[in-house]
Amino acid sequence: MDAEQAGPGTIRPGGRTARVRAVVLQAAGHALAENGLAHLDLADVAHRANVGKTTVYRRWGTAASLVADLLVDMAEQSSPRTETGTLIGDLKANARLVQRTLSDRRQGALFKAIIAAATCDDRTAGALRRFYDTRVAEWAPCVHQAIDRGELPALTDAHEVIRAVSAPLYYRLLTGGDPLDTTAADRAAEATAAAARAGAYVRR
Amino acid sequence: MDAEQAGPGTIRPGGRTARVRAVVLQAAGHALAENGLAHLDLADVAHRANVGKTTVYRRWGTAASLVADLLVDMAEQSSPRTETGTLIGDLKANARLVQRTLSDRRQGALFKAIIAAATCDDRTAGALRRFYDTRVAEWAPCVHQAIDRGELPALTDAHEVIRAVSAPLYYRLLTGGDPLDTTAADRAAEATAAAARAGAYVRR
């Protein structure tokens, strides 16, 4: 098997394949943020990354496949969770991380482009769902710890709590004109913590 | 001034202009739900509506203009709020309305297509924002009534409360694979009510 065709799991860290993947995915992210998935062109990405077209076509084949791999990489590269010792501290750290990402010019545009693409492309939708599953699983333990500390009801659905922190921030990004600022992030964390304490996320 | 070119505010209810607008916007909604904004073609919409192409081009001119008018019509046609006498009753009625709309096959596809279009088209983004402003203003009085009844703190931001009910449902529609069911709707209402009672939406 050609190393160039290997899946992400078989890449040697720091090897040529990993370096090629890194520059190609970075170029793909820039191209997507600028022009959206409809105009994502593998030859253009290869040109931006200064990599041979054949390499890009052979390894990723289609724009949807390239975006799916970009989302795998984004999940791998994203920040580990912060542990503050309290539920509200942990949820605020998570909310601030989401808010910083979405309010960043390039990253915000990238997320908008990927979410827009996912509305009409099942493969991108699946890859996006796996990206969020990874991020939610990374942060869910802060809810389990809050349950252990007696801050939350025992049957609180940790994944629902983490998703509830993100939801108002994504809603602002996609439907609103309101600023995605730290006030919005803190409010998302505080509202979720209050609702969780009141038992709104207890599994039924 | 030709009646065909009149803005929505000057249309005689039930007149030919209003009837033409109704059939064209319905056809535009179907076309958008099926194919997205990128493939919205005015000639195709005219054909679906059984209306002359010239009429559609003269009145709306561009796909973005047609979508903007569709959103005006959707806001005009959308259901008035329900008054139940309690905050949780009102928020659940609102959440169920949003959930029914987004989980409807055609309407859900239409919202996805419009939100995707808004990520890369400023005119559509503005029209979408005005649509949500209208819907939020329709429901905001239920928060003011809850404040008057002593259910919520005096300085609660009514618009933020109404947006908080919708956010997790739109987040599911756009990023998740989880079902948009009545359980999700009721949870969105209950979480928002609990957070509002705890003061999370008090203006700062």
The continuous run of DSSP H or E covering B53 comes out as: helix B53-60
| Residue of B187, B54, B133, B127 lying closest to A192 (CA atoms) | B187
The answer to whether the CB atoms of A115 and B119 lie below 8 A apart is yes
Q: Which pLDDT value is given to residue B38? A: 78
The predicted pLDDT at position A30 comes to 93
What does DSSP assign to residue A198?
T
pLDDT digits (tens, 9 = 90+) for B194-204: 999 999 999 98
Given a cut of 60, whether residue B132 has pLDDT beyond it is yes
Which positions of chain A have pLDDT values less than 70?
Answer: 1-13
Q: Which pLDDT score, from 0 to 100, does residue A9 have?
A: 45
Chain A residues inside the 8 Å CB shell of B160? 187
All structural domains of chain B, each given as residue ranges with its CATH number in brackets, are: 3-74 (1.10.10.60), 80-197 (1.10.357.10)
Reported residue count of chain A is 204
Angle A29-A23-A130 from CA coordinates, rounded to 5°: 50
Q: Find which of A110, A120, A135 to mutate to test the B interface (most B CBs within 10 Å of its CB).
A: A120
Q: What is the DSSP letter of B85?
A: S
When pLDDT is averaged across residues B104-132 and rounded to a whole number, the result is: 91
Q: What is the pLDDT of residue B16?
A: 86
Amino acid at A30: H
What's the rounded Cα separation, in Å, for the pair B190 and B59?
Answer: 44
Residues above pLDDT 70, as percent of chain B: 94
Question: Which helix (DSSP H) or strand (DSSP E) does residue A71 occupy?
Answer: helix A63-77
Mutate to test the interface with B, among A39, A171, A182 (most CBs of B within 10 A): A171
- Give the alpha-carbon dihedral of B17, B22, B27, B33, to 10 degrees: 140
Cα torsion through B32, B38, B44, B48, rounded to 10: 0
**Would you say A91 and A165 are in contact if contact means Cβ atoms under 8 Å apart?**
yes
Residue with tokens 């590269």: A77
Asked if residue B13 has pLDDT above 70, the reply is no
pTM for the predicted model, two decimal places: 0.89
- Tally the residues of chain B: 204
B115: β partners: none
Q: Which of A119, A191, A199 sits opposite B201 (nearest CB)?
A: A191
What does pLDDT average to over chain B?
Answer: 90
Instruction: Judge whether residue B39 has pLDDT over 80.
Output: yes
Mark yes or no for CB contact A171/B167 under 8 Å: yes
- pLDDT above 90 as % of chain B: 74
Q: How far apart are CA A152 and CA A197, in angstroms?
A: 5
Hey, what amino acid is at B157? D
Q: Which residue has the tokens 């975006």?
A: A67
Q: What is the pLDDT averaged over residues B137-164? A: 97
Contact across the interface for A163 and B171, Cβ inside 8 Å:
yes
Q: What tokens appear for A47 in the block?
A: 């040109």
* Rounded to 5°, angle at Cα A152 from B197 and B168: 60
Residue B156 has phi, psi (to 5 degrees) of -60, 130
Give residue B198's Cα distance to chain centre. 28
Does the pLDDT value for residue B45 go beyond 80? yes
Q: Which two structure tokens, joined as six digits, stand for B165? A: 């009910």
The complex's ipTM? 0.88
DSSP three-state, residue B152: coil
